[in-house]
A = this chain, B = another copy of it.
Amino acid sequence: MKEKQDAALVFDLDGTLIDSVYQHVMAWDEAIRKAGMELSIWRIHRRIGMSGGLFVRALGRELGRELDASVVAQLQRDHEEAYLRTVDGVVPLPGARELLATLTSAGVPWAIATSGAHYPAQRSMRALNVPESVPLITRDEVTRAKPNPDLFLAAISALGVSARETFVVGDSLWDMLGARRAGALGVGVLSGGYGRTELVEGGGAYRVYDDPLDLLRHLDELGVRIATW
């Protein structure tokens, strides 16, 4: 029996539901080297999940010069090409499918909001068995990706809920920052490689879990009522 729910969840995709952050990191590393530039890999990791535009702007700052539009476009193409070469090995994180199925059957509204492009996101949606009816908001749908709140606000609007009752679940500081700017509570997961205290102290995460499986086991801490527990 479904209870009346007063909570909604908006999920980031890469590093939150899908184990793809490190492949994205190495794909950016490859693209940056190919362009004859050098950036330490940990600095790439810390930028994953933010909008591509902000990413290359930050890259320019680290390199000490502004990158012109054609260089930026080439970097983005090379990153995408390098990532797609590894994408067959990318799998859902532990508990991701079960978590989403549990929310669906309990009648908890949920959506996905990613700074990534539409095509690889759709591939992930299939791997996660996401029903057609679930809103998917990608960078193609909004003007500004994370840490701007646009993606999360669009997801909240598509669900017809209020930001105040919404938890944004993500693995990066950009998710936590975007959540706060959207007026929602941020819930962190460690599965993208950030540390717990970084997400809490740097991002203001309300709670932090290891991964989707750990979140599934603690849904009650968010006030989500699962009748069939």
Contact = CB atoms under 8 A, between A and B. Distances in A.
Taken together, the copies of this chain in the complex come to 2
Interface string A45-57: 1000000000000
13 contacts: A19-B41, A19-B42, A21-B41, A22-B25, A22-B42, A38-B91, A40-B93, A40-B191, A42-B190, A42-B191, A45-B193, A194-B195, A197-B202
SS class, residues of chain A in contact with chain B = helix
Q: Please give me the 4 A-B residue pairs with the lowest Cβ-Cβ distance, nearest first.
A: A197-B197, A195-B195, A195-B198, A42-B193
Interface of A: 15, 19, 21-22, 25-26, 29, 33, 38, 40-42, 45, 89, 91, 93-94, 190-198, 201-202, 211
A195 to B, nearest CB: 4
